[in-house]
């Protein structure tokens, strides 16, 4: 129930006045009914058949209606309540109480950061989002996730021309999964170039249902099982769901005793593509090509050394999880997995000049509060920016930074221009590759490990609309 039609997206006025009885026994009039949906950054929960009663002091929410209309469960605790997807048990929304009531504050149109509505050029969004085609930018613009000042189909991006040499065919999804982690696809890629972090390899895990992607750079293929163990623990802890089927190729990094034992002990179906028919693992292989296309384009655009590929990998993973998926009705993997709309206002162009604001405790009082850096992405364990200090050659993590997205510091120093041909090399699914060796110390997974939070900005809860339990 609500006291104003302003909260509704559709409204039907009833000609006859109806009355409802409220808590103290008195009666108040209702004028009509309407519907609405929670707006970003909240999950798009439906609120249907809302009664409009102008004399109502507080807006009230029927828990029964909310749970049945949206197939969600609600858990109350002393500090508030948690809304969970009924089937997956994945938390969708958390609300803390402020007294004896359970308020749910909805964002108004005034809530969203003003920068959301600052229209930026198509080029800026193209660069920030890893050089997607204009059709994807149009989808995001239509969804009001970003605001593009003017669209043009005639623009030419040199980095795309050099970076995306492989045109990927569009494939319909053959998946028939109905829940996250019913099937997880996996594949790996060997880099001929050693990364500055000491990586020669990366492995990906792709959830079939949501298209959400995790990548781990590794120093050695023999660390694949260790990365898988870390990944499956993450899924179990964060989503309280087991992986049911694991689909991979027949390479020795997967087809070995450690994997077989783990799957048998945990009831996990282990599905291999047949030798030399890697098309059966096509979804993961196509994803590797997509990732490498973005990695190559990001490095090209910023003129970064090829050995920075693991930073571009982390960035590509982040971006792919917030871009709409054509095979998922243009919903993003983040929306499908976390039930949250990703935010885009904090995005910046990979490899550009930036000045992170250094904490005053870390530097001499008279020293500069910042030094020129190169922006290398978003850290997995912090909200903020990963910045490469050009003088100390160290990575600085900062919540606050100034950016110049037209200057790319490495572009000045690279003559001749670096080659990124290594990213065209074949996929690593070599059945004759190295024999399984004992698991080594895990790689530092800090560069492209999955975020322990969805790629969204923190949720603010202004006291706009109070929803309480209907008695
Ligand atoms: Zn481009």
User: What average pLDDT values come out for the chain (471 residues) when binned by 10 residues?
Assistant: 76 72 78 78 78 77 85 80 78 71 56 53 95 93 90 84 63 70 95 95 96 96 94 92 91 90 92 66 89 95 96 97 92 88 92 85 57 93 90 92 94 72 58 28 39 46 37 31
Rounded Cα distance, 205 and 40, in Å: 28
CB 262 within 8 A of CB 268: yes
How remote is the CA of residue 354 from the centroid of ligand 1, in Å? 20
Rounded Cα distance, 429 and 81, in Å: 46
What is the predicted pLDDT for the residue at 204?
97
How remote is the CA of residue 313 from the centroid of ligand 1, in Å? 16
The beta strand positions in 86-177, using DSSP E, are 91-96
How remote is the CA of residue 127 from the centroid of ligand 1, in Å? 6
How remote is the CA of residue 128 from the centroid of ligand 1, in Å? 10
What is the predicted pLDDT for the residue at 87?
77
How remote is the CA of residue 224 from the centroid of ligand 1, in Å? 32
Q: Sort strands 269-272 and 245-248 into parallel, antiparallel or unpaired.
A: parallel
Rounded Cα distance, 166 and 298, in Å: 15
> Against a cut of 0.75, is the pTM above it?
no
- Angle at alpha carbon of residue 439, lines to 437 and 445, rounded to 5°: 130
Rounded Cα distance, 353 and 373, in Å: 6
Structure tokens given for 380: 């997995």
Rounded Cα distance, 236 and 228, in Å: 12
How remote is the CA of residue 389 from the centroid of ligand 1, in Å? 25
379 in helix, strand or coil? coil
What is the predicted pLDDT for the residue at 198?
96
What is the predicted pLDDT for the residue at 105?
61
244 closest CA partner among 317, 335, 176, 334:
176
What is the predicted pLDDT for the residue at 414?
60
How remote is the CA of residue 332 from the centroid of ligand 1, in Å? 21
Rounded Cα distance, 462 and 106, in Å: 7
């Amino acid at each position: 129930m609500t006291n104003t039609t302003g909260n509704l997206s559709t409204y039907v006025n009833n000609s006859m006045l109806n009355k409802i009885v409220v808590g103290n026994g008195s009666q108040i009039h209702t004028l009509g009914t309407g519907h609405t949906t929670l707006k970003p950054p909240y999950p798009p929960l439906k609120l249907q058949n809302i009664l409009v009663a102008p004399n109502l002091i507080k807006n009230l929410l029927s828990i029964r209606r909310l749970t049945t209309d949206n197939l969600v469960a609600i858990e109350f605790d002393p500090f508030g309540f948690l809304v969970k997807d009924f089937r997956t048990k994945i938390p969708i929304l958390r609300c803390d109480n402020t007294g004896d009531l359970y308020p749910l504050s909805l964002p108004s149109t005034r809530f969203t950061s003003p920068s959301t509505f600052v229209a930026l050029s198509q080029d800026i969004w193209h660069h920030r989002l890893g050089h997607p085609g204009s059709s994807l930018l149009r989808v995001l613009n239509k969804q009001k996730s970003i605001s593009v000042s003017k669209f043009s189909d005639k623009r030419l991006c040199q980095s795309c021309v050099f970076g995306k040499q492989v045109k990927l065919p569009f494939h319909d999804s053959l998946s028939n999964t109905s829940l996250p982690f019913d099937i997880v696809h996996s594949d790996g890629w060997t880099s001929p170039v050693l990364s500055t972090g000491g990586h020669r390899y990366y492995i990906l895990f792709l959830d079939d249902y949501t298209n959400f992607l995790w990548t781990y750079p590794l120093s050695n293929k023999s660390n694949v099982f260790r990365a898988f163990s870390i990944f499956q623990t993450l899924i179990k802890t964060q989503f309280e769901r087991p992986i049911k089927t694991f689909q991979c190729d027949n390479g020795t990094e997967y087809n070995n005793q450690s994997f077989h034992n783990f799957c048998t002990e945990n009831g996990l179906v282990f599905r291999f593509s047949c030798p030399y028919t890697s098309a059966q693992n096509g979804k993961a292989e196509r994803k590797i090509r997509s990732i490498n296309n973005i990695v190559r384009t990001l490095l090209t655009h910023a003129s970064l050394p090829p050995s920075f590929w693991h930073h571009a990998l982390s960035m590509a993973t982040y971006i792919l999880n917030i871009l709409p998926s054509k095979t998922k009705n243009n919903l993003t993997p983040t929306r499908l997995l976390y039930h949250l709309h990703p935010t885009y206002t904090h995005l910046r162009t990979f490899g550009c000049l930036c000045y992170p604001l250094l904490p005053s405790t870390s530097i001499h009082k008279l020293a500069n509060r910042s030094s020129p850096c190169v922006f290398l992405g978003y850290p997995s364990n912090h909200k903020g920016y990963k910045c490469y200090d050009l003088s100390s050659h160290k990575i600085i993590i900062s919540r606050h930074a100034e950016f110049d997205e037209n200057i790319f510091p490495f572009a000045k120093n690279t003559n001749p221009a670096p080659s990124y041909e290594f990213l065209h090399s074949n996929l690593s699914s070599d059945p004759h590759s190295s024999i399984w060796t004992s698991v080594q110390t895990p790689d530092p997974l800090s560069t492209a490990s999955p975020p322990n939070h969805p790629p969204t900005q923190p949720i603010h809860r202004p006291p706009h609309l109070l929803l309480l339990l209907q008695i």
